[in-house]
Amino acid sequence: MIAAQPPLPQSEPSSAILLAALRLQLEWGADEALLDAPLDRLAATPERQAPEAAAAPGAAPAQPAPARAAAARRAPPPMAPALIPALRDTHALAAAAGSLEALREAVRGLETPLRDTATNLVFADGNPASPLMLIGEAPGAEEDRLGRPFVGASGQLLDRMLASIGLDRTQQNPAQAVYITNILPWRPPGNRNPTDAEVNLFLPMVIRHIALVRPRHVLMLGGVSAKALLRRREGITRLRGRWHELPGDDTLEIPATPAMASWHPAYLLRNPAAKRDAWADLLLLRRALDGHPLSTHPA
């Protein structure tokens, strides 16, 4: 029989307990303070303090709480008001950007709630003259802090992967360099996955980014990047391991470009067994960079 736990003391919690509680919230992903003051969820609410006022004569009966909760679950979440005009304007803003610096400023000025919770814009890194462009999903905590893509643990793994096929983001020689960006330039709160609305908002900017850099090959890291750029619904498991063609866009001046999808380095850190697949993808990429015909993995 499990012994009953002693009740917690009613005195003020010690600093060690408070730090442990904060650490637990960080592990759960709650790393953004979005309110001016903490919310006491144990305090009595107005509904608990006093009975509900009597309904006015002739008024419709109040909906029971379970019914209200079910209706709230069925209703789709409303789109943030700032996203609605931005969705209409982002394509025009992207098309008007005639240089990488102009595109950076267009991205920075795009209205989005993500900008309010992030620390730094994460635009790109590496050599834009490189024939290879890498496109990930969204910045993480370290990327948000430094304002550069892929600089955390997954970025360090990516650098080692690129070095294994003779590539380096710091190289001045374009043939040995890479250019790196993400679908989202702002970190989502708590490192959550990007939403479809956020991806659609920034996708024209990413396509214009590709058009300005004009790489000969694109490597898409992760399912979010691959599905967005290829306009496909399949997961990364089905998309990786072979070459695709990015759709062209006359308005954004992007030609059809060979592109390959592979595992995101963050996934490889969680699933080391998938590194074998990633190595096979890198070998395909190296062959293409060396001028060999585009090929796929053996069946």
- pLDDT, one tens digit per residue, over 56-66 is 455 445 555 44
**Mean predicted lDDT score pLDDT of the chain:** 81
Q: Strand pairing partners for 260?
A: 219, 243
Closest CA to 90 of 226, 217, 207, 196: 207
Q: Give the pLDDT confidence of 154-187 residue by residue, as tens digits.
A: 999 999 999 999 999 999 999 999 999 999 999 9
What order of strands is seen across the sheet that includes strand 179-182?
A: 125-126, 179-182, 132-136, 217-221, 257-262, 243-246
Q: Which domains does the chain have, with CATH numbers?
A: 83-289 (3.40.470.10)
Q: What is the pLDDT of residue 16?
A: 67
CA distances from 105 to 62, 100, 127, 187, 213 (A): 50, 9, 19, 17, 16
pTM equals 0.71
Question: Distance (Å, rounded) from C-alpha 294 to C-alpha 94?
Answer: 30
Amino acid at 135: I
Q: What is the pLDDT of residue 90?
A: 85
Supply the DSSP symbol for 272: G
Q: What is the pLDDT of residue 6?
A: 52
Closest CA to 85 of 112, 115, 118: 112
Reported as a pLDDT band with limits 50, 70 and 90, residue 255 is confident
Q: What is the pLDDT of residue 14?
A: 63
Amino acid at 260: M
Contact present, 259 and 219 (Cβ < 8 Å): yes
Find the range with the poorest average confidence among 76-90, 147-161, 208-222, 230-244. Answer: 76-90
Asked if pLDDT for residue 11 goes beyond 70, the answer is: no
Asked if pLDDT for residue 29 goes beyond 70, the answer is: no
Question: Distance (Å, rounded) from C-alpha 252 to C-alpha 97?
Answer: 9
Q: Give the pLDDT confidence of 190-213 residue by residue, as tens digits.
A: 999 999 999 999 999 999 999 999
Reported as a pLDDT band with limits 50, 70 and 90, residue 19 is confident
Amino acid at 193: N
Strand 125-126 to 179-182 pairing: antiparallel
Reported as a pLDDT band with limits 50, 70 and 90, residue 234 is very high
Residue of higher predicted confidence among 271 and 80: 271
Closest CA to 197 of 105, 74, 117, 113: 113
Q: Give the pLDDT confidence of 260-284 residue by residue, as tens digits.
A: 999 999 999 999 999 999 999 999 9
Non-local (6+) Cβ contacts of 90 within 8 A are 110, 201, 202, 204, 205
